[in-house]
């Protein structure tokens, strides 16, 4: 793992005693280092504010013309030899890396490269041949979520967790250079990109998603976008801590999920739909049979023994059959699951998913849509084409969004939770139960839950009893969100314990003075 040392604001600067209040040209013209950290011995990141505009700078060892000649020569020899490398070495990332290192070592010796240059040359060779070249640094920077390049001669942009969308000092200066990285990405994603098939979407070996285009589709030449895979799944406790949801909203989700009510999480790409879904799955009882169906393996449910994870398989060979989401959902239903989770609905499979919801299985899915109305529209028109009455069987639609504040801070918040109230005259009537209040940056319960009424009726308890349980669980979750180091698995373990001895746990917490 990369070790990240963070340093605030350009150290050692002496502040004048009387700073002028007004932001004058001197302020605007100042170049400030906002943040600085190292990813490795040869990769340093500096985030600067240049005349009020942020930039992400990758700082690597400087090269003179002679260095560049040496590096290119070694790269040429290794790449030229590539064809004679056994295929199993080429296909295995680790073997390939080792092979490149050994070859470099041999050539440094053979070409009589001065010793003091060795480290630097080794770094660049390995960065370019075993790594992803110019974009290797942001690929290894855990603060970076997205990397995108829209063409030749324009800066690559990154999405930084603390600074949002910012340009970098990485530029591909020729079409060949950019094309070669696009080819490399498509090979890593095991997709064939070509003139006949100039646009691909795939998954890199580390789980990151990539979209690549060759020059024919975009005017500025080839382009690519990488959405990086983040390693640690967030728990509901984390999301409460980050104020993405409130403890009360989390408790509401818990009651719905326990009662196998189904949720559809909507929002834009990168809003946090998958993250929220994965966190909510920690509310499922440990003994439940869970089936998850995805194109990209993103969902992680550690500690669930009765979980079967199904991944669609796209065949690149003609004699091997592709298995699509539709088929997977269909066969999944024969396995009598308690919960069916579809990573993201995109096609025919959504029909079967909603049928399974109709059969009383718990369901959870995400859908790319801006608001509830467009979600319904997407679900009921082609290619999804689900009958409205099936859509109306979902219990609630949850919208999550990425908000960038005036100060450039990035926040992810659940914006609204709307329950399906009724199907009237060919339209679904919604009731908003939770809503985000921007002024206070809080999520408030704004309406009485209809789903709660149904649950109370199903269990033969009064609605007041259910609201009391909501408040108990809210307290319990608020307590969990204040605990240190509560990862996804420990969180779901504690939820299970609550089901077994909730009353005792609550009494203990109250005894401790936890409100
Ligand atoms: N509540 C959150 N707080 C901070 N980061 C988040 C949150 N939710 C998601 N993320 C990060 O945002 C990125 C995109 O999230 P993801 O759930 O994959 O979005 P979506 O499924 O909507 O495209 C991931 O890197 C993830 O770690
Ligand atoms: Mg997603």
The per-residue pLDDT for range 474-487, each reduced to its tens digit, is 999 999 999 987 88
Phi then psi for residue 451, to 5 deg, are: -65, -35
pLDDT in tens, 91-131: 677 788 888 999 999 999 999 999 999 999 999 999 999 88
Q: Is 233 in the pocket of ligand 1 (CB under 6 A)?
A: no
Question: Pairing between strand 396-404 and 290-294?
Answer: unpaired
**How far, in Å, CA of 470 to CA of 255, rounded?**
8
**How far, in Å, CA of 182 to CA of 258, rounded?**
45
Q: Is 270 in the pocket of ligand 1 (CB under 6 A)?
A: yes
**Which residues lie below 8 Å from residue 61, measured CB to CB, with a gap of 6+?**
42, 120, 123, 124
CA 269 to centroid of ligand 2, rounded, Å: 7
pLDDT tops 70 at residue 255:
yes
pLDDT tops 80 at residue 360:
yes
**How far, in Å, CA of 496 to CA of 304, rounded?**
11
Residue 50: band (very low, low, confident or very high) from pLDDT cuts 50, 70, 90: confident
pLDDT tops 90 at residue 7:
no
Phi then psi for residue 361, to 5 deg, are: -75, 150
**Closest by Cα among 346, 316, 351, 317 to 189:** 316
How would you write 248-269 as a 3-class SS string? HHHHHHHHHHHCCCCEEEEECC
pLDDT tops 50 at residue 60:
yes
pLDDT in tens, 143-180: 898 999 999 999 999 988 778 889 999 999 999 899 99
Looking at residue 185, what is its pLDDT?
Answer: 94
**How far, in Å, CA of 14 to CA of 37, rounded?**
22
Domain boundaries, the chain: 25-60+134-227, 65-131, 236-511
> The tokens 């005349």 sit on which residue?
51
Expressed in angstroms, the distance from the first to the final Cα of the chain is 38
Q: Is 146 in the pocket of ligand 1 (CB under 6 A)?
A: no
pLDDT tops 90 at residue 246:
yes
160, 270, 296, best to mutate for ligand 1 pocket (most atoms within 8 Å of CB) = 270
Looking at residue 495, what is its pLDDT?
Answer: 97
> The tokens 């049979």 sit on which residue?
289
Q: Is 267 in the pocket of ligand 1 (CB under 6 A)?
A: yes
Ranked by mean pLDDT, the top range of 6-10, 40-44, 257-261 is: 257-261
Residue 201: band (very low, low, confident or very high) from pLDDT cuts 50, 70, 90: confident
Question: Which option is the CATH number for 236-511: 1.10.357.10, 3.30.60.50, 3.50.50.60, 3.40.50.300?
Answer: 3.40.50.300
For the residues 220-244, what does the mean pLDDT come to? 87
pTM for the full model?
0.66
pLDDT in tens, 396-408: 999 999 998 877 7
pLDDT tops 90 at residue 69:
yes
**Closest by Cα among 50, 487, 112 to 302:** 487
Whats the size of the chain, residue-wise?
515
DSSP string, 201-243: EEE-TTS-EEEEE-TTTSTTS-EEEEEPPPSSPPPHHHHHHTT
3 state DSSP class of 402: strand
CATH number at 25-60+134-227: 3.30.450.370
Looking at residue 14, what is its pLDDT?
Answer: 31
């Amino acid at each position: 793992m990369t070790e990240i040392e963070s340093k605030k604001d350009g150290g050692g600067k002496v502040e004048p005693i009387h700073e002028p209040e007004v932001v004058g040209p001197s302020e605007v013209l100042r170049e400030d280092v906002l943040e600085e950290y190292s990813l490795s011995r040869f990769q340093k990141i500096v985030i600067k504010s240049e005349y009020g505009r942020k930039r992400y700078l990758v700082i690597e060892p400087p090269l003179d013309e002679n260095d560049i000649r040496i590096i290119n020569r070694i790269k040429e020899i290794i790449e030229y030899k590539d064809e004679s490398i056994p295929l199993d070495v080429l296909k295995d990332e680790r073997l390939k890396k080792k092979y490149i290192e050994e070859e470099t070592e041999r050539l440094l010796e053979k070409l009589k490269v001065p010793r003091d240059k060795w480290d630097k040359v080794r770094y660049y060779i390995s960065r370019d041949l075993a790594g992803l070249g110019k974009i290797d640094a942001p690929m290894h920077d855990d603060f970076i979520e997205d990397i995108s390049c829209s063409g030749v001669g324009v800066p690559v942009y990154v999405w930084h967790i603390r600074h949002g969308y910012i340009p970098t000092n990485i530029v591909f200066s020729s079409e060949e250079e950019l094309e070669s990285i696009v080819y490399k990405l498509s090979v890593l994603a095991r997709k064939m990109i070509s003139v006949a098939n100039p646009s691909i979407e795939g998954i890199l070996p580390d789980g990151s998603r990539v979209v690549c285009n060759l020059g024919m589709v975009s005017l500025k030449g080839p382009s690519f976008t990488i959405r990086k895979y983040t390693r640690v799944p967030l728990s509901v406790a984390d999301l409460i801590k980050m104020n993405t949801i409130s403890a009360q909203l989390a408790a509401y989700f818990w009651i719905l999920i326990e009662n196998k009510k189904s949720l559809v999480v909507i929002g834009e790409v990168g809003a946090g739909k998958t993250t929220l879904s994965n966190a909510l799955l920690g509310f499922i009882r440990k003994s439940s049979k869970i089936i998850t169906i995805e194109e990209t393996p993103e969902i992680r449910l550690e500690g669930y023994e009765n979980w079967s994870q199904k991944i669609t398989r796209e065949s690149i060979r003609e004699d091997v059959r592709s298995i699509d989401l539709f088929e997977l959902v269909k066969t999944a239903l024969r396995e009598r699951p308690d919960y069916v989770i579809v990573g993201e609905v995109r096609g025919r499979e959504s029909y079967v998913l909603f049928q399974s919801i109709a059969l009383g299985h718990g369901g959870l899915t995400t859908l790319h849509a801006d608001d509830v109305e467009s979600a319904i529209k997407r679900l009921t028109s082609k290619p999804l084409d689900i009958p409205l009455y099936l859509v109306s069987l979902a219990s609630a639609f949850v919208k999550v969004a990425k908000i960038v504040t005036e100060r450039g801070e990035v926040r992810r918040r659940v914006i609204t939770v709307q329950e399906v109230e009724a199907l009237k005259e060919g339209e679904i009537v919604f009731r908003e139960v939770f809503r985000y209040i921007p002024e206070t940056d809080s999520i408030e319960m704004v309406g009485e839950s209809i789903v709660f009424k149904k649950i109370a009726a199903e269990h033969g308890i009064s609605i007041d009893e259910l609201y009391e349980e909501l408040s108990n669980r809210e307290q319990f979750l608020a307590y969990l969100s204040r605990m240190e180091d509560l990862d996804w698995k420990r969180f779901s373990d504690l939820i299970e314990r609550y089901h077994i001895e909730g009353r005792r746990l609550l009494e203990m917490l109250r005894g401790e003075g936890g409100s």
